[in-house]
Amino acid sequence: MTIQQPVLDLSPKVSDEVRKTTCYMCACRCGINVHMKNGKVAYIEGNKDHPVNRGVLCAKGSAGIMQHNAPSRLRAPMKRVGERGEGKFEEISWDEAYDIAASWLKPIRETDPSKLAFFTGRDQSQSFTSWWAQAFGTPNYAAHGGFCSVNMAAGGIYTMGGAFWEFGQPDWDRTKLFILFGVAEDHDSNPIKMGLGKIKKNGAKVVGVNPVRSGYNAVADDWFGITPGTDGLLILSLVHCLLKAGKIDLEYLRDFTDAPVLIDADPKSPTHGLALLDDDGHKLVWDRTEKRARCYDAEDVDPDLTGVWEVDGIRHRTVFQHLAEKYLDGQYAPEAVAGATGIPAGRIRALAAEIARVAFDEAIELPIEWTDFRGRKHTNMVGRPVSMHSMRGISAHANGFQTCRALHMLQILIGSVETPGGFRFKPPYPKPATGHPKPHCKVTPGAPLDGPHLGFTHGPDDLCLKDDGSPARIDKAYTWDNPMSSHGMMHMVISNAHAGDPYKIDTLFLYMANMAWNSSMNTSGTMQMLSDKDENGDYVIPHIIYSDAYSSEMVAYADLILPDTTYLERHDCISLLDRPICEAEAAADAIRWPVVEPDRDVKGFQSALIELGAKLGLPGFVTDDGSQKFKDYADYMVSHERRPGVGPLMGWRGNGDETGRGAPNPAQLDRYIENGGFAIAQIPENAQFYKPWNAAYQEWAVEIGLFDKASPYLFTLWCEPLRRFQLAAEGHGERQPPEHLRARIKATMDPLPIWWDATADHGGADGEYTVNALTQRPMAMYHSWGTQNAWLRQIHGRNPMYLPTEIWEKHGFDEGAWARISSPHGEITVPVAHMPALNHNTIWTWNAIGKRKGAWALKDNAPEAKEGFLLNHLIHELLPPKQDGMRWSNSDPITGQAAWFDLKVKVEKVAPPADLTSKPNTGRQVSPVGQGPDKLAWEVE
Amino acid sequence: MTALPATTDKKLGLVIDLDTCVGCHACVTACKGWNTQNYGVPLSDQDPYGMPSGTFLNRIHSFQSQPEPVNDIPQLARTTHFPRSCLHCEDAPCVTVCPTGASYKRAEDGIVLVNEDACMGCGLCAWACPYGARELDQQAGVMKKCTLCVDRIYNDNLPEEDREPACVRTCPAGARHFGDLGDPESDVSKLVAERGGVDLMPEQGTKPVNQYLPPRPRDTLQAPEMTGEEDVLAPFLAPVAEEPKGLLAWVDRALEKI
Amino acid sequence: MQPAPSVIIFSTLSGAGFGLLFFLGLGMPVVTGGIAFGFYVIAYLLAVGGLMASVFHLGNKKNAWKSYSQWRTSWLSREAWFAVSALLCMGLYAFLQVFFATTVATLGFLGAALSLCTVFATSMIYAQLKTIPRWNQPATPGFFVAASLAGGALLSNNPNLAMVLLLVLAAVVAFHWWKGDQRFAEAGSTIETATQLKGRVSLWEKPHTGENYLTHEMVYQVARKHAVKLRVIALLLMTVVPIFLVLVFGPHHLPVALAVLSHLAGLFAQRWLFFAEAEHVVGLYYGAHTGKQTA
């Protein structure tokens, strides 16, 4: 029978034009092709040439069009006309907005710049926003790292000069065993998925260590359903097994780490625990051949891992000896940790054995010659093809810093860092803590701060304390409470400002952080603090300025709104100066540019800051005659120089053919746009591994402007900064911690990674809170943003609390059931669902699905504002009261990282509420942008 | 036209790797985006900012499975993310039930399509499909389904490398493959042969073209607690020492040899 | 399956209408003039009214005329052809009876056959679907035809025949329920065949937390205890009450009219259940029917 098929146009026109820019649907910064039809955005796909995503794009990225046209977009600057939290606003002009902001900011800059707290959330322009804050003169600046993953970043930098994601990546093409600790779905999203795909294709093995078997853990060949907060213990047990079996890379440890460095081993010595140095401050190692202590980087040095040397009556032993003694202890034997971790001893051993097998029996060699920093030539590059990755899962615990250090130590012990098949740094990393600035906090009225706010402390002298010993920063970062808080502590700002502790502020200036909702612990309490009034009827936090592109919950709590653009309407630079998009084989940076102009009276926040900076006359923002220096952010991106010849963007500098270093090039942005929105500079082949010690890499890095002279270094298994704080707590030195913190500093700031049960403080007075409670972010959503996206919110518009079989059956839950989940701090009433592939004592839910009524231009029937809920209500920024009468911070005692995942709860079955609405009820805010339409069919003709 | 072609020149389809799919939904929105702008009417959404529902041609389910005990030892539960879209069946029941001739299977490549100009929106084809591949767009009232991006795969306006379905192009993990399953020498056919690709609901007799690659065996690290058998990895952890002193002595000897 | 009112009304009313036409075509009774006019008005109101109702079910009504094109393969297309042929044929037959008091028996027989074919074609739309095992059984056309004939007999004032046909209908419907309850397991589709995953499989998360056409249309489930109650009500109204009314009060206008109404009400309930109890295999992908997968 002949079939009459319709004649199809198989080659329809796809679009008028493709504009290539950078995605901002999450923090990954993938390259996107924006297809334009009649000047409108019609379709978004991944850019095949882009180093981050190679053409692929996640659910968020492809749904970007729905973010770009979201009805929740703010339309114009606004000033509050109702009470804080009500959401009542009046639209104003930009001039009026700047006048209002300047009327608050100018006086405080002239009298006390620290009265401004400027925190920028999920900011991708931190090198610019921090520079603004520095020019203003306030010490109170940070982005959201403190409540995100500072433990991972700082743990990595202090140990080996970088961590995961922006700092480095597994050698996806060569690795044979990949171990993923904790939730990782929310950072580095496409690269990890692409990497998992490569691993699967190559037949390599994926091991997932995570209480929840979903997402990446669903495809993991082996799943270890660990008890939350015990990853450190598991890792140290793996270290125990490997040490005992001698499955460590002795050559690597000897040549590239501080394992042979001599450490003062005399408990009575004032330098107990510190490295023995020569007169130039170089670390000394014991030389096996010459039988004497020598500088670690001498060309012919033969470091010994087991050397002991007595000098001036003080016995010094190598780091390796300390380490061997510590981890061979029976407390780290698999049998000893099985109970706490929830992993049977045999499985721990099996994992350790697999690591040993792959690292040593399947070692790979690349026939690439290279020269190390001691000038020795190597004929090949030996790799231990075991790689690891982790982000928030192990970071967001109070023991997270030490756990992250333990993870890096494990990688170092088997010699897999910066070797083929293992973990590889991405420029500008490797860069050790000593290569970063120290924090600065010296305030001078009417003048800039004395240096960059954020940095790395190396001992008590670097703390940000005032002369009277009180915290210099509003968030109490870099104090004895958390001496190494390298990313600041954004999560403490509102509660500290509300309490006036350590001091009162005048203006809270926030950008892109939904602090009145999912970005805060203790959400209900935070909302209350933001709207609290003093006895005079004035707000306790006098002024709040907020910049956001969308009608978030936080908008309702601000006095002045500076409306930001969507990501397709703005300039941005993804700069080597802060958080670039480099790959292990190449340095890369990128821009965003307005592929469409805004159709509202909105401005890119950075451009608004430039105008506000000029209005305030901030140094760097005005020319000598006092006029505005940069036209807008695009102008800044091109013409600003941080150091002579080094600016925000590395590509096409000078006359257009210089990379990294060169004079500003007015045509630079056009060249970026022509090239698809990014620039890339390949690392030479012989410089691609062993980067911290590879002379060719060091040379290349200097050439491209990453640093100004070659800076090789040793990995530091022994973290001296920790030891210096510990020494102070033991009574040594001038700067002494307050008495109540002494014991804790001694216990937690061990120079070698340790583990303690950080959830123990969360069980309540009677120990009734016994169940671990977690959140994870769905791969298709980015914090609260996904909910305004008509496509994404259909995928994740509800979030039940998932319960493991044990709890499900114990309480007799069935489909459609609800539970009251309580912590020492509060309670929520929420729908529950069953999940067998889950640690038996852990419950969890998707993060940031619940929404406040009226926010995000949603209608009142939106499930997010009915059944949807936040776990945040149960988490307090302070720990429950203890017998000592103190309220300790719910954060890592070393870095101040918010310990989201230490939460313990109690689960009780309750009847479903009559209105099927979760509790607590957080009220309603008026939407300044109305509500979205009833129907949607977004076809651009 | 609602008669199925006796044979098709090619059998274009997808191979979906359940061992690799991480359930990220990238293919879901890439499909929604492309097909809202292209083939036929846009994929509409109802009450998009309230209690939403909408037309999607590709959806990712998530299943959990409890394996049988091994040597009486209970095994760990598993999770599998499961993309579901039109399988472009050889014996497509959705085609033959269509009263208007709107549903058809292309003779040249086997793609099952809906000619929206002929569809009256009765929904019978959706009833006939076991896989839920067809959704009646609530705004336009016509049946929507996966077109295998027929307007991409032959599109001269796209670079050669982009001539594949939007879902395949965007899949970050590489869990989706596109090709001619009628050609035993094609990459997809070889992949299916190598990995033991399967039909969904074979008992429905639809002879799906799309194939699913089942998850590889899980939790295979040989731990006695999981298998009830001896620890085969144990030799890799044969101790060199029990005490720090012994270890240091061993290290000393080992360094001597390097 | 979602019990859509338009489809329930269509299949019930048009079934009764074509049943009446069937008996009129057979000359049971032979009617002419005004009486004939009355019968045909009722028959056409039911048959055409039902067909109109089914058009409401269409998403894109302007293409409805194209449904005549695929009679070789599509039962829905065949139904459309049969319905039009039956209506035209019986229209001519009726025209001659009403206005010329002439009964062309051959024409009537042809019209009766076409009427019955229409009902059969309607039933095959459902019965052909392997995806809905409850419908995919010979008793589906059986009860459609029985219902049409029983209703037709009642409407055409063939009380004794109606009694018998109602009993047959009750038996076929009961058999359909009994068999239908086993069909899902017999068909053999399970969440394991649907996913081809090993072990005991269950749904963890739906693909979208939002609803969609499939979940609205095909993943509708009626609670078991309601179904049993409704089955009893349907059987009572559809057969027991009409039989009782006619037996007790005799074949008079009022009791027969009441019997017809009761029968139709029962039939509505039966049709509602026909949809509401029907489980589409796609529900397996949404975690439905887990209790029905194995016998």
Check if the interface score ipTM surpasses 0.95. Answer: yes
State the smallest CA–CA distance between residue B5 and chain C in angstroms. 13
List CB contacts (< 8 A) between C215 and chain A: none
Q: Which residue in this structure is represented by tokens 């397991």? A: C185
Is the domain of A204 the same as that of A334? Answer: yes
The better pLDDT of the pair B224, A138 is held by A138
Distance CA A302, CA A295 (A): 10
Is the domain of A116 the same as that of A174? Answer: no
Interchain pair B173, A194: CB under 8 A: yes
Domain that holds residue A802: 758-910
C213 touches chain B (CB under 8 A): yes
What CATH number is associated with residue A534? Answer: 3.40.50.740
Minimal Cα distance from C287: which residue of A? A815
Provide the chain A residues 196-225 that lie in CB contact (below 8 A) with chain B: 196-198, 200-201, 207, 213-223, 225
Of B53, B55, B61, the CB nearest to C285: B61
In a domain, B136, yes or no: yes
List CB contacts (< 8 A) between A795 and chain C: 207-210
What CATH number is associated with residue B135? Answer: 3.30.70.20
Amino acid at site A628: Q
Please say which residue of A530, A563, A596 terminates a domain: A563
Q: Which residue in this structure is represented by tokens 């796209």? A: B158
Is the domain of A120 the same as that of A232? Answer: no
State the smallest CA–CA distance between residue C277 and chain B in angstroms. 15
Choose among A814, A786, A808, A812: nearest CA to A799: A786
In a domain, A881, yes or no: yes
Interchain pair B255, A59: CB under 8 A: no
Is the domain of B170 the same as that of B115? Answer: yes
In a domain, B77, yes or no: yes
List CB contacts (< 8 A) between A65 and chain B: 33
In a domain, B246, yes or no: yes
Distance CA A163, CA A156 (A): 4
Is the domain of B121 the same as that of B245? Answer: no
Domains of chain A: total: 3
In a domain, B103, yes or no: yes
Interchain pair B130, C201: CB under 8 A: no
- Rounded to the nearest 10 degrees, what angle do helices C5-26 and C105-127 cross at? 150
What CATH number is associated with residue A856? Answer: 2.40.40.20
Of B37, B54, B247, the CB nearest to A42: B37
Is the domain of A203 the same as that of A267? Answer: yes
Please say which residue of A563, A597, A619 terminates a domain: A563
In a domain, A750, yes or no: no
Interchain pair A794, C208: CB under 8 A: yes
The better pLDDT of the pair C54, A424 is held by A424
Is the domain of B114 the same as that of B228? Answer: no
In a domain, A281, yes or no: yes
List CB contacts (< 8 A) between B17 and chain A: 200
Domains of chain B: total: 2
List CB contacts (< 8 A) between B140 and chain A: 937
Is the domain of B207 the same as that of B230? Answer: no
Choose among A51, A16, A21, A52: nearest CA to A34: A21
In a domain, A249, yes or no: yes
Is the domain of A145 the same as that of A173? Answer: no
Contact assessment for residue A590 and residue A677, using Cβ atoms and an 8 Å cutoff: yes
Q: How many helices (H) and strands (E) does chain C have?
A: 11, 1
B45 touches chain A (CB under 8 A): yes
Beta bridge partners of B16: B176, B212
Is residue C50 very low, low, confident or very high in pLDDT (cuts 50, 70, 90)? confident
Q: What is the pLDDT of residues B16-31, one digit of tens each?
A: 999 999 999 999 999 9
State the smallest CA–CA distance between residue B237 and chain C in angstroms. 33
Is the domain of B157 the same as that of B229? Answer: no
Q: Which residue in this structure is represented by tokens 């929604």? A: B32
Is the domain of A353 the same as that of A482? Answer: no
List CB contacts (< 8 A) between C199 and chain B: 65-68, 78
Is the domain of A128 the same as that of A188? Answer: no
Q: How much is the pLDDT for C292?
A: 59
Of C130, C188, C204, the CB nearest to B64: C204
Minimal Cα distance from A790: which residue of C? C210
Q: How much is the pLDDT for A666?
A: 97
- What letter would DSSP give residue C1? -
Residues 6+ apart with CB under 8 A from C225: none
Minimal Cα distance from B220: which residue of A? A222
Q: How much is the pLDDT for A147?
A: 84
In a domain, B249, yes or no: yes
Is residue C293 very low, low, confident or very high in pLDDT (cuts 50, 70, 90)? low
Q: How many CA atoms lie within 13 A of A600 on its CB side?
A: 26
In a domain, A465, yes or no: yes
Is residue B258 very low, low, confident or very high in pLDDT (cuts 50, 70, 90)? confident
Is the domain of B65 the same as that of B180? Answer: yes
Determine phi and psi for A388, rounding to 5 degrees: -140, 160
In a domain, A219, yes or no: yes
C235 touches chain B (CB under 8 A): no
Q: How much is the pLDDT for A1?
A: 39
Minimal Cα distance from B236: which residue of A? A353
List CB contacts (< 8 A) between A791 and chain C: none
Domain that holds residue B242: 224-257
Interchain pair B99, C203: CB under 8 A: no
Interchain pair C210, A835: CB under 8 A: no
Of B18, B78, B136, the CB nearest to C213: B136
The b-or-e profile of A464-478 (16+ CB within 10 A means b, else e) is bbbeeeebbbbbbbb
Interchain pair B29, A792: CB under 8 A: yes
User: Which parts of chain A have pLDDT scores under 70?
Assistant: 1-3
Peptide bond into C29 cis (omega under 30): yes
Is the domain of B129 the same as that of B234? Answer: no
In a domain, B3, yes or no: no
SS3 A335: helix
B112 touches chain A (CB under 8 A): no
Interchain pair C60, B120: CB under 8 A: yes
Interchain pair C214, B126: CB under 8 A: yes
In a domain, B45, yes or no: yes
Choose among C211, B232, B120, B59: nearest CA to A780: B59
Provide the chain C residues 170-209 that lie in CB contact (below 8 A) with chain B: 187-189, 191, 193-208
Distance CA A747, CA A525 (A): 31
Please say which residue of A536, A563, A590 terminates a domain: A563
In a domain, A49, yes or no: no
With a pLDDT cut of 90, the percent of chain B lying above it is 90
Minimal Cα distance from B58: which residue of C? C207
Interchain pair A798, C204: CB under 8 A: no
Is the domain of A180 the same as that of A260? Answer: yes
* Mutation to test the B interface, candidates C62, C206, C214, C219, most B Cβ within 10 Å: C214
Is the domain of B185 the same as that of B233? Answer: no
Provide the chain A residues 599-628 that lie in CB contact (below 8 A) with chain B: none
Is the domain of B186 the same as that of B238? Answer: no
In a domain, B189, yes or no: yes
Distance CA A238, CA A256 (A): 22
Look at residue C294 and tell me whether its pLDDT is greater than 50. Answer: no
Is the domain of B76 the same as that of B188? Answer: yes
Interchain pair C209, A798: CB under 8 A: yes
* Mutation to test the C interface, candidates A217, A796, A844, most C Cβ within 10 Å: A796
Look at residue C295 and tell me whether its pLDDT is greater than 50. Answer: no
Is the domain of A107 the same as that of A189? Answer: no
Q: What is the enclosing helix (H) or strand (E) of A478?
A: none
DSSP string, A754-808: ----GGGGGS-TTS---EEEEEE--TT--TTGGGG-TTHHHHSS--PEEE-HHHH
Q: What is the enclosing helix (H) or strand (E) of A497?
A: helix A493-499
Interchain pair A835, C204: CB under 8 A: yes
In a domain, A862, yes or no: yes
Choose among B149, B145, B38, B167: nearest CA to A938: B38
Determine phi and psi for A260, rounding to 5 degrees: -85, 0
DSSP string, B101-152: S-EEE-TTT--EEE-TTT-----HHHHH-TT--EEE-TTT-SEEE--TTHHH
Look at residue B1 and tell me whether its pLDDT is greater than 70. Answer: no
Is the domain of B79 the same as that of B44? Answer: yes
Choose among A813, A809, A782: nearest CA to A795: A782
Choose among A439, A540, A542: nearest CA to A105: A542
Minimal Cα distance from B123: which residue of C? C58
Chains that touch A (3 or more CB pairs under 8 A): B, C
State the smallest CA–CA distance between residue A75 and chain B in angstroms. 18
Of C59, C74, C217, the CB nearest to B99: C74
List CB contacts (< 8 A) between A288 and chain B: 255
Q: Which residue in this structure is represented by tokens 């005490």? A: B243
Is the domain of A235 the same as that of A356? Answer: yes
Minimal Cα distance from A860: which residue of B? B50
